[in-house]
Amino acid sequence: MGTERDTGVTRRGFLGLTAGTAAGVALGMRSFKAHAAVPHTEETWEGGTVIPSTCNMCVNRCGIRCRVVNGVLEKIDGDIRNPRSRGGTCAKGQAGIMSVYDPDRVKHPMIRVGKRGEGKWRRASWDEAFEYVADNLARIIKQHGPESLLWSSTTDLTEQFFVRLGIHLPTPNFARHATLCLASRNVGYFATMGGVPDSDLANAKYILMFGANRTESFQLPDNWTMIEGIKNGAKLTVVDPRMTYTAAKGEWIPIRPRTDMALTLALMHVLIKEELYDKEFVATNTHGFDELKAHVANLTPEWAAQETEIPAEKIVAMAREMAAAAPAVVVYPGRRTSWYTNDSQFRRTLPMLMALLGAFDAPGSHSFGSPKARLGSFEWEIEPFDVAERFDHFETRYPLANHEDGGYVSLRDAIVDGTTAYPVKGWMIYKQNPLAAVLDGKKSLKMAQQMDFICAIDVQPSETAWMADIILPETTYLERLDPLWAPSGPRAYVGIRQPVVPPQGEAKPILDIIKGVAKALDAKHEFETPLSQVFNFSMEEFIDAQLKGLPIDRQTLMQEGIWLGPEEKKSYGAYRSGKKQFNTPSGKIEFVSERFRRNKFPALPEYETPQEVPGQQRLVSGRHAWFTHQRGHANNLWLHELYPENEVWIHPELARQKGISEGEEVLVRSSVGEIKIKAKVTPRIRKDTVFICHGFGGNSAGQTTAQGKGGADFMLMESAGDEISDNQATHETFVEVVKV
Amino acid sequence: MLKKRSLIAGLALIITSFITMDIAVAAGKANWKRGRVYYRMVCTVCHIQETGAAISPNSRTIAEWKAYMAADKHDASGKSKPKVSDYTSKAYRESIKGSNKAAKKFLKMPDAALFADVKAFVVHGAKDSDTPASCN
């Protein structure tokens, strides 16, 4: 930390430069518990104006109604008309107010003046900031080519503008959200059945979830209907080394970690051996049944019991119960599937199990083709197609992964280990915090230190932004107009995200930031298509193009907040009858993946007994109801009030052995790092496993609420990725818990 | 004399370009990324306008796409041009260049090379390929 005499500003100075408004400070002073205690009806919050919009505190993008009084956002409620949220707003959604009024927020362009990460900054005008970014990008492009730029961003409605700028430079080196989250699920399901199906949780009679903690992570209507279903007799089985809130809603199966595939293979063994599988569905809709039958012939429940520590009779009972409930069975695909190095193969076994049960294209099971509004397309300028190969050899190392997403672990390791095909000199980061999200945090820091130039576009001075050379402040989702949102779901609709309050400070929407960078870059470098030409449109024009063909105009949509399509009754049977084909090489659900075989991966998922480290526990991580995403949640004053600090969960027997008491600070260490964190002694975790909630232990001095609170899981996790998708494998690390 | 030399040089360049293009096409060096741009900006736009739905590369297998492109028959309805190659031809690009950026951009490209690029894209993105592609 520098001193006040330095040419730059200190953290205190940084905060002074970015301090919130009086209204924001006042809101920040208010307790969230007191705020949330007021009944959630619009009548209780009189006055002001109610503006409909779309939440951005997690990926569900619920419909919200925002009450603004005297220019200050006072209250966020759910929009009852929205099919995906039906009036619900979780704690995260309500605490979105503090994303606007967070006193730590970056509100002006900030240029680094001290050493990287030292926290010395000076305020810059936007003109200077655009010149600064363009100078550096143009210099790197001139010296090393555009491919020496790494382009990182997180999935959201606005990401396309940032990505499009990278496409037109052109750089091939994108690093997107999927390989920190769900890439392995996508690869496994696409290979097996051509896509990730929807799950009819409301009408299922048996629901099997592996690790998924959706009743805690996402407060969504299909969870509410699932709970109703459970009340009416549906069975929920949750397989997880930890007893989550979701597991508490059903039966908890405390599986030995990394043996999930042994369970799914043994379940298939029972279904086939006892002829409980859906023979008609298998004959019509699947490929490779005979090979599967031979493959699982010896994978008995007794064998799986040794691996999973789930009794053989329990495995048999589970298979029989599922068969009895079929086809109204959901084998839940999962969302964050960044667990193990064999994750794509494990995920393949879930649709395979589903196919044996015939749990597809029937009520209470899985399906494709939920209602979805068809948005019009914006006509972009032609993108360059003579683009260099990626620096990390991603396409050849991971031939079946999504090459446009890239893989964080492999690219980070290639840069740090010096195995890139060419130098990587610049890093543009939009709305992503890889220094607090990618495992082996120290190694990620080394990657950042090797860059000539880093620019972060963010609302918060995150760990990654704090290491940047310049931070460009973006508006929050409550201050800007975004592209439209038209997801598939129970009913087709189009939602709009629009400004509810004016931007704080000088924050700009991403499209304006991209335009500014594009214009400055055009003056310094000749691109195939001038960048200013690529972005020569307004957000309103972009939205109008999306609305083409829909019976609503932009003004009406902004007023209403949502356009609802006609109610459609879902029809079933097209796949079961063979009329529709799956989008796989065989046109069927592939027990045997020809695509995997061709690329020399096992065509049928092969199980390997996990190796363990004596005297150590396997570290698993997950999300909390108020902290599903590190970005934006960790430093939120109200969410912090609800859950200020995470803990390491350890089993009482292990705690007894080590003499550790509840709430005591312990040291947790792995081969790559160590953290101090409080112990939560609970029988809700296996003795061979410890759990740490993700999103804590931040080390950005700019985030005064989050800094140093709790422990950072990513600092302990060793570098590992799924062998097929390169999804980071966050549950492959063993740690030692030490009494301090 | 200078004019004659320039003419000869120009002709040589054109011939060389065609030979190079033919060799590239014959050698399977078509640019699927260029084909993607043309397919998405010309073929898909028209498919949506005329039929209300896109035809994704991942809706057919590699063998089906190869057979379709080899047969060079656009569709059996008789409502459209008879050949697939009609839609990659210079004449077609010329006819829509005013309203289509890709047609304008690729106006001078030899017909065979552009056809090969489009073929390379649909095969690369076929449903049994390693990288199935949609129209988006």
Q: Give the closest-approach CA distance of B89 to chain A in angstroms.
A: 19
Strands (E), A506-646: 562-564, 589-590, 617-622
Angle between the N-to-C axes of helices B111-124 and B2-26, in degrees from 0 to 180, rounded to the nearest 10: 20
Q: Compute the mean pLDDT over every residue in chain A, rounded to the nearest whole number.
A: 92
- For residues A707 and A701, the answer to whether their CB atoms sit within 8 Å is yes
B4-33 mean pLDDT: 52
Residue A589: its chain B contacts at CB < 8 A? Answer: none
The 10 Å Cβ neighbour count of residue A139 is 16
Q: Give the closest-approach CA distance of A363 to chain B in angstroms.
A: 26
A282 interfaces chain B, CB cutoff of 8 Å: no
> Which of A385, A585, A586 shows the shortest C-beta gap to B33?
A385
- For residues A567 and A560, the answer to whether their CB atoms sit within 8 Å is no
Residue B131: its chain A contacts at CB < 8 A? Answer: 403
Interface of B with A (CB under 8 A): 31, 33-34, 36-37, 41, 45, 58-59, 61, 101-102, 105, 127-128, 130-132
> Which of B34, B45, B130 shows the shortest C-beta gap to A400?
B130
Query: What pLDDT does residue A5 have?
Result: 32
pLDDT at A26 over 60: no
The tokens describing A317, both together, are: 């009972």
Q: Give the closest-approach CA distance of A583 to chain B in angstroms.
A: 6
> Which of B61, B101, B128 shows the shortest C-beta gap to A382?
B101
Please tell me which residue of chain A has the smallest CA distance to B131: A400
Strands (E), A156-281: 174-175, 198-199, 206-210, 235-239, 251-253
Q: What distance in Å separates the CA atoms of residue A253 and residue A311, rounded to the nearest whole number?
A: 10
B65-90 mean pLDDT: 89
Query: What pLDDT does residue A524 have?
Result: 98
List C-alpha distances in Å: B24 to A62, A285, A368, A385, A388.
51, 41, 41, 17, 19
Query: With pLDDT > 70 as the criterion, what percentage of chain A qualifies?
Result: 94
Which of B41, B104, B107, B118 is the best mutation test for A, with the most CBs of A within 10 A? B41
Q: What is the DSSP string of A34-53?
A: HHHHS-S-GGGS-SSEEEEE
The 10 Å Cβ neighbour count of residue A524 is 14
Which of A382, A405, A529, A593 is the best mutation test for B, with the most CBs of B within 10 A? A382
pLDDT tens digit sequence for A168-179: 999 999 999 999
One-letter identity of residue A268: M
Please report, for chain B, the start and end positions of each structural domain, with discontinuous segments joined by +: 1-30, 31-136
pLDDT tens digit sequence for A66-87: 999 999 999 998 999 999 889 9
A336-352 mean pLDDT: 96
* Sign for the pseudo-dihedral over CA of A198, A202, A205, A211: positive
A250-265 mean pLDDT: 98
pLDDT at A19 over 50: no
Q: Are strands A49-54 and A63-69 parallel, antiparallel or unpaired?
A: antiparallel
Query: What pLDDT does residue B15 have?
Result: 43
Residue A385: its chain B contacts at CB < 8 A? Answer: 31, 33-34, 36-37
CB contact under 8 A, B128 and A381: no
Q: Give the closest-approach CA distance of B35 to chain A in angstroms.
A: 9
Query: What pLDDT does residue B25 have?
Result: 45
Residue A194: its chain B contacts at CB < 8 A? Answer: 127, 132
pLDDT tens digit sequence for B92-135: 999 999 999 899 999 999 999 999 999 999 999 998 888 888 76
pLDDT tens digit sequence for A32-69: 767 666 665 655 566 789 999 999 998 889 999 999 99
List C-alpha distances in Å: A513 to A130, A452, A473, A522, A718.
8, 21, 9, 14, 36
Lowest mean pLDDT among A214-218, A270-274, A500-504, B35-39: A214-218
pLDDT tens digit sequence for A594-649: 899 999 999 999 999 999 999 999 999 998 888 777 667 889 999 999 999 999 99
Please tell me which residue of chain A has the smallest CA distance to B32: A385
| Long-range contacts formed by B81-85: CB under 8 A, 24+ apart | B84/B115, B85/B111, B85/B115
Name residues whose C-beta falls within 8 Å of residue A89's C-beta, 6 or more positions apart in sequence. A40, A55, A62, A64, A76, A77, A78
Confidence of residue B2 (pLDDT cuts 50, 70, 90): very low
Q: Which residues is A622 bridged to in the sheet?
A: A693
Tell me phi and psi for residue A678, to 5 degrees. -75, 150
CB contact under 8 A, B37 and A598: no
Q: What distance in Å separates the CA atoms of residue B83 and residue A595, rounded to the nearest whole number?
A: 32
Query: What pLDDT does residue A291 have?
Result: 98
pLDDT at A224 over 50: yes
Q: What distance in Å separates the CA atoms of residue A10 and residue A32, rounded to the nearest whole number?
A: 30
Residue A382: its chain B contacts at CB < 8 A? Answer: 37, 41, 101-102, 105
Residue B41: its chain A contacts at CB < 8 A? Answer: 379, 382
Q: What distance in Å separates the CA atoms of residue A180 and residue A338, rounded to the nearest whole number?
A: 7
Lowest mean pLDDT among A195-199, A700-704, B58-62, B110-114: B58-62
A379 interfaces chain B, CB cutoff of 8 Å: yes
Lowest mean pLDDT among A10-19, A89-98, A328-337: A10-19
A530 interfaces chain B, CB cutoff of 8 Å: no
CB contact under 8 A, B127 and A400: no
Task: Give the three-state DSSP class for A520.
Answer: helix
* Sign for the pseudo-dihedral over CA of A496, A499, A504, A510: positive
Q: What distance in Å separates the CA atoms of residue A679 and residue A155, rounded to the nearest whole number?
A: 34
Query: What pLDDT does residue A23 have?
Result: 54
pTM, two decimal places: 0.91
Q: Give the closest-approach CA distance of A296 to chain B in angstroms.
A: 26
Please tell me which residue of chain B has the smallest CA distance to A382: B102
pLDDT tens digit sequence for A104-113: 999 999 999 9
Per-residue DSSP letter, B53: S
Residue B59: its chain A contacts at CB < 8 A? Answer: 583
* Sign for the pseudo-dihedral over CA of A620, A626, A629, A635: negative
Please tell me which residue of chain A has the smallest CA distance to B99: A379
Q: What distance in Å separates the CA atoms of residue A321 and residue A206, rounded to the nearest whole number?
A: 8
Query: What pLDDT does residue A563 have?
Result: 98
The tokens describing A17, both together, are: 């430069």
CB contact under 8 A, B101 and A599: no
Confidence of residue A222 (pLDDT cuts 50, 70, 90): confident
CB contact under 8 A, B130 and A379: no
CB contact under 8 A, B130 and A598: yes
User: If phi over 0 gives left and psi between -120 and 50 gives alpha, with beta otherwise, what is residue A549?
Assistant: left
Q: Give the closest-approach CA distance of A134 to chain B in angstroms.
A: 27
Task: Give the three-state DSSP class for A27.
Answer: helix
> Which of B34, B59, B130 shows the shortest C-beta gap to A595?
B130
The 10 Å Cβ neighbour count of residue A413 is 18
Name residues whose C-beta falls within 8 Å of residue A464's C-beta, 6 or more positions apart in sequence. A429, A432, A433, A434, A435, A436, A448, A456, A458
- For residues A408 and A179, the answer to whether their CB atoms sit within 8 Å is yes
- For residues A497 and A477, the answer to whether their CB atoms sit within 8 Å is yes
Q: What distance in Å separates the CA atoms of residue A619 and residue A716, rounded to the nearest whole number?
A: 9
Which of A379, A404, A529 is the best mutation test for B, with the most CBs of B within 10 A? A379
Domains and CATH numbers, chain A: 125-176+406-473+509-536 (3.40.50.740), 183-334+341-362 (3.40.228.10), 617-739 (2.40.40.20)
A460-474 mean pLDDT: 97
Strands across the sheet containing A426-430: A121-123, A110-112, A470-473, A453-458, A426-430, A149-153, A174-175
Give CA A134 to chain center in angstroms: 30
> Which of B34, B101, B128 shows the shortest C-beta gap to A585?
B128
A584 interfaces chain B, CB cutoff of 8 Å: yes
Query: What pLDDT does residue B5 have?
Result: 47
pLDDT tens digit sequence for A359-388: 999 999 999 988 999 898 898 999 998 899
Residue B132: its chain A contacts at CB < 8 A? Answer: 190, 194, 583
pLDDT at B22 over 50: no
pLDDT tens digit sequence for A294-325: 999 999 999 999 999 999 999 999 999 999 99
pLDDT at A2 over 50: no
Among A143, A114, A112, residue whose Cα is nearest residue A129: A112
Residue A381: its chain B contacts at CB < 8 A? Answer: 101
Please tell me which residue of chain B has the smallest CA distance to A528: B105
CB contact under 8 A, B101 and A594: no
